[in-house]
Amino acid sequence: MAHRMAFTKGHGTENDFVLVPDLDGALGLSAARAAWLADRRAGLGGDGVIRVVPTEAADEPSVREQASDARWFMDYRNADGSAAEMCGNGTRVFAEYLRREGLETADEFVIATRAGAKVVRRDGDHWAVGLGPWRLADPVAAERDGFDALVHVGEGDPYSALSVDLGNPHTVVALPEEVDLDALDLTRAPVVRPEPPHGTNVELVRPVGPGHVVLRVHERGVGETRSCGTGACAAAIATSFWAGSLDTGASWVVDVPGGRLAVRLSDGGGVELAGPSVLVADGTVPLGLLPA
């Protein structure tokens, strides 16, 4: 086993991840290694890679500072190997893994992320995660115009959009009624103007009814995915903002290609995400196959 690396494959509403236990912090996870693991042809395949590592062993000082509250750090990498602040669906899969492995035993506990400590709690058959406070990236433009960006999806005129920061960046597009959500081409990354300095996840949103939206998402560093947890929250926040009803306690149903998520706008300007998480396979991979 010393020459093999253990892994678990899991998903949250078909947003899938390779989880790698690094329980003593000795393994590490380079960008090249994460990209190989996430490769759907040459590697194991996933929208991202999650290293399970003690918070006190994290590379970043800002993460190690969370060790007094959170025993475990969700070291999340996008499919291209780039480090990401956090991942809403990933937090629930991470929580499911910690409980299954006995690394956490309570129904509520804290995990560390690059976007700060997050509280996860058991919610029936699902996990819910408090994503903390959100903010509008350009509140002046948002209050004045209702939008702060333009998004080009394929050919044709751009769509108006609102930028929402949930610890990671999102740009939410309000699709005109005449646009067919299913027909939009997301094989290429939408072009966002002004260009966000650290890239952005783009959500294309269509209201279904009161408190109910459907979306597709193109994730930064990945491409189109079957689901995005923080993107679902950003979609609910933006739609609430446009409706003039950012009410604490409001609940939203968000349908994504991979299933259904629940979003609740919580006290203090925060947001909570709930949904399923599934661990589907365990295995090992020879270390000799992995890049450095």
Annotated catalytic sites, by residue?
87, 228
CA distance 16 to 24: 25
251 forms beta bridges with 264
Q: Say if CB 238 and CB 172 are below 8 A apart.
A: yes
Q: Are strands 201-209 and 169-174 parallel, antiparallel or unpaired?
A: parallel
Q: 84: which DSSP letter?
A: -
Phi, psi of 5 (to 5 degrees): -110, 130
Output Rg (C-alpha) for the chain, integer angstroms.
19
The tokens describing 11, both together, are 């998903």
Give strand pairing partners of 76: 50
Residue 231 structure tokens: 């993107």
